[in-house]
Amino acid sequence: MNIADSQLVTAVLRRAGFASAARPEDADVILLNTCAIREHAEERVLGRLSDLARLKHRRPELRLGLLGCMAQHN
């Protein structure tokens, strides 16, 4: 389900004129599509968000978004 959701979000963003960035450092927007069914998956997302928070601190204009069941759960 997450793959299908990610593909849908990607298609919508491309139609809106966005393009994929090769590296997070090159992105203007970073969206994480999450699943919190397993605790390990949630821990990995929290670790990734911690890494991205440092990038956001260096680049305040960067937009971060959390999608999926973890965003709905918390």
Task: Dump pLDDT digits (tens) for 26-59.
Answer: 999 999 988 767 777 888 888 999 999 999 999 9
25 and 62 Cβ atoms separated by less than 8 Å: no
What backbone phi and psi angles, to 5 degrees, belong to 34? -115, 165
Highest-pLDDT range among 2-6, 17-21, 70-74:
17-21
User: Chain-wide mean pLDDT for the chain?
Assistant: 89
Segment 9-30 mean pLDDT? 95
